[in-house]
Structures are given as structure tokens and as C-alpha cells.
Structure 1
Amino acid sequence: MSAEQPELSRLRRDYAERAIEVTELTSAPEPLFARWFAEVDAVARKSDASWFEANAMVLTTADAEAHPSSRTVLLKGYGPEGFTFYTNLRSRKGRQIAANPNVSLLFPWYPLQRQVAVQGAVAPVPDAESDGYFASRPRGAQLGAWASEQSETIPDRAWLDRRLAEFDARFPDVVPRPAHWGGLRVRPDSVEFWQGRPDRLHDRILYVRDAAAPHGWRVERLSP
């Protein structure tokens, strides 16, 4: 181990005594996700946790050759139909999703020593839904959606600043939604709820979509 590398064993922490109780389990994953999200959002809103965004999620995609890539995006809606986010559809993730719609999501909710892992397929949201969300964005974010050729190589920051100024002048009033920008929704095939527990004997509850199961979901407990 090099002199500059910290001793990683010193970073080990014990987890709090929390559990996923049987009484918490729901017939489908969405109600349990909603409860957990409300709890972690309450923590995120505290001043001492202002660094943390409850709706931040790691999106992993893969191209047609199964080469994966991951990045953090922001959840903008969830419900029985799935998990929704918005992006430039010409970006690397947009191109990969077009080639291979199967993705995973990970919500790393560190303050509560929890994570939620989702696997499913992506489909675009209706144009009207994308239009509505785009109209709700701040003007700067709207212009940024036009200015950024997301994931493409650019010469320097000044190029981006010029592009922003150009579109600011082009759209002095209402900024329309670019055709290459819109919403994507992940319809889950499985959702795993993970709760850290002492001695690395964590709780793992897996919901698997199953048409033959009651309410369309099979619920399993996994070994840690």
C-alpha cells in the first residue's frame, strides 16, 4: 500500500440497529418506497444534511455491446407506473437507452444506512408530460437544455457560455422544449430494499414483478 493511500480498514463503521420489519412490508414496492423516501427527504432537509439530495439516484445503462456506464441523475416522479427522470435524449445515456432499454437505478441513502436498487426497462413519457415539466424549470435550466450538446466534446467553457447567450437572445420570452430533451420512465421488474444492520447481517427485501403473484409482485427476503 502506498504512503498516500489511507488505511481503508479504518473507514469501517458499524450500522445502527434498524430493521425492515415484517409489518412494514407492502403488497407492492411503491408504498414502501414512498415511506422510505419521505423519511430520507426529511433528513435531507435538515441544515446539517444539506449536502445530501434524497432524489439523487445512480442510473446505469449499457450500450448495444453491453458496455455499462453509470451517472447520478435526479428522480422527478415516482408511482405505480415507475420512476421518472428527464435528460437530453442525444446524450450518452440517451443513446444507450435507445439501443438497450434495460437499466438499473440505485438510491444510496447513506444518512439512514439504506439503499434501494431497481431493475427495469425504460420508455419515454408522453410529450405533454415532458412539456409540463420543462415549463416548470427555471429559465436558466431551460436555456441550458438548448445550449448543451450533452456528452459531446467541446473546445472550452467559453464555447458553452456563448451558446447560452445565443439561446437567451433567441428566446427572449417563452423557452420551448427542445425535441431532443424529454422524460424517461423506468418500469421496474424488481425493487430491492436494503437496510444496513450490525455485524453485516443486513436486511434485504426483494420485490419481483410476477403476474401470478397476489397484486402482481412476489416478495422475497435475501441473505446478506
Structure 2
Amino acid sequence: MSLTTELPADAARGPIPDTAEPYALFEEWMAEAVAREPNDPNAVCLATSTADGWPSARMVLLKGRDEQGFVFYTNEQSRKGDELLSNPRAALCFHWKSTRRQVRVEGTVERVTAAESDAYFASRSRGSRIAAAASDQSRPLATRADYAARVAALEAANPGETVPRPPHWGGFRVLPARIEFWQDMPFRMHDRLVFERLGEGWSTGRLFP
């Protein structure tokens, strides 16, 4: 049987093109996901671990990407915040079912600047800022009503549009040491292109599926 017969309409695409750096390719794939994913194309699974290596993973939203790395925001007193501060290494996994692609990122982690955190916090809706400030994220909650009461109290204390950013709420940037692009291909002959940090540039190669 030919390896090009009986394929879904968009599965006949060729392998991932060779390129010297990963970021332009990531932006291209993200743009296609934005056009095709029904919800949150910037959703990404974030994996962290404790100082002694106990892992955990959860979904977060990517809120920025530049030549340094990939940025997300959270309560630094949450479980992921505690783990990132005690063991500043993380992995990200983007999976877009609509495009049948995946990107994996591994690297060290740093805090973004206070100015970056202030700017992003201010860009959120007032309700989202109130909810974030009212939450002791990942800590035990006796009843949902207790959280609602905290939200109501903060709304009353901050009647205007300005809601101060809590000092323990901010951003983290994953500084990639490795980025892998995975693309679905016919008959499970998937294509994998990997980039590994090499000084100021990248080494590249392909992996068996």
C-alpha cells in the first residue's frame, strides 16, 4: 500500500522544514493554532517538580514569548510557584489537536521583572484581578462561600478600576535549553525536529517517532 493513499485532507503535508532556530517555527505553528483551535490555543501543560524530584503538572496559559523564553503568570505561593522557586526547572508541552502538532520545551526558570508583572496584571479584567488577589491558590479552602466572601470584600475595598497586584503574584519565564517540534504524519511515521541550546545558537536534529 502506498504511504500517501487514504489520508485525511490535511495529512499529506510534508515533514517539518529544516531551520536554524526554533522561534519563527513556533510562531508559525501558534498562528495556525490560533486560527483553528476552538479554545485557548495558548494553553500549555506546565510540569514542575519539588526540590527532591517529585513531579506535578497542570495547564497554564502562555502570555508572552520572546528571544529569552516563554512567559506565564501565577500566584508564587501556589504549588507550582513553590516548586519553581525551590527547583527552577520546568517543562512545557503544547498540544494542538486541530493541527495535530505538539511542541515540548525544557529549561531553567526565572522570574520576570516586577514591571512586566505589573503591566500584565493591569491588562487583566477587573474581575480577574480581584479573583487573583482573593485567592490563596493551592491552599485548603473550607467552602466556596469563603472564597466568594473574600472576593466581595476586595470588590468593596477597591471600588474603582485600580486593583493593586499582590506582591506574591507574578510571572515566570522558561529559558529553553531544548525545544522539540512533533508533527503527525501518515501511518504513524511522525516527524520530530529537536533544537538544543548551543552557546548563543542552536544545534538541530531529527528523532525517530
- TM-score, normalised relative to structure 2: 0.92
Percent of residue pairs bearing the same amino acid type: 46
- TM-score, normalised relative to structure 1: 0.86
Query: Residue type of the partner of 1:189?
Result: A
Query: Residue type of the partner of 1:146?
Result: A
Query: Residue type of the partner of 2:206?
Result: R
What runs of 5+ residues in structure 2 fail to find an aligned partner? Answer: 1-6
Q: Which residue of 2 aligns with 1:193?
A: 181
Write out per-residue CA displacement over residues 125-154 of structure 1, whole angstroms, 9 at most, x where no aligned residue: 110011011111000010011111000111
Secondary structure of 1:112 counterpart: coil
Write out per-residue CA displacement over residues 171-222 of structure 1, whole angstroms, 9 at most, x where no aligned residue: 11210100010011001001000001111110000000012xxx61001100
Q: Which residue of 1 aligns with 2:192?
A: 204
CA distance in 1 between partners of 2:11 and 2:198 (Å): 33
Q: Which residue of 2 aligns with 1:148?
A: 135
Q: Are residues 1:217 and 2:202 paired?
A: yes
Q: Which residue of 2 aligns with 1:127?
A: 114
Q: Are residues 1:54 and 2:41 paired?
A: yes
Q: Which residue of 1 aligns with 2:28?
A: 35
Write out per-residue CA displacement over residues 154-184 of structure 1, whole angstroms, 9 at most, x where no aligned residue: 1110000000011111111210100010011
Q: Are residues 1:180 and 2:168 paired?
A: yes
Query: Residue type of the partner of 1:29?
Result: P
Alignment of 1:81-96 (within 5 A): 81-96=68-83
Q: 1:18·1:196 contact (CA, 8 Å) conserved in 2?
A: no
Q: 1:19·1:195 contact (CA, 8 Å) conserved in 2?
A: no
Q: Which residue of 2 aligns with 1:78?
A: 65
Query: Residue type of the partner of 2:47?
Result: T
CA distance in 2 between partners of 1:25 and 1:73 (Å): 29
CA distance in 1 between partners of 2:50 and 2:14 (Å): 37
Q: 1:19·1:203 contact (CA, 8 Å) conserved in 2?
A: no
Q: CA deviation at 1:65?
A: 1.4
- CA RMSD after TM alignment: 1.5
The list of structure 1 runs, each at least 4 consecutive aligned residues, that deviate by more than 4 angstroms after superposition, is: none
Aligned length: 201
CA distance in 2 between partners of 1:128 and 1:66 (Å): 32
Q: Which residue of 2 aligns with 1:7?
A: none
Could you say which structure has the higher helix fraction?
1
Q: Are residues 1:69 and 2:64 paired?
A: no
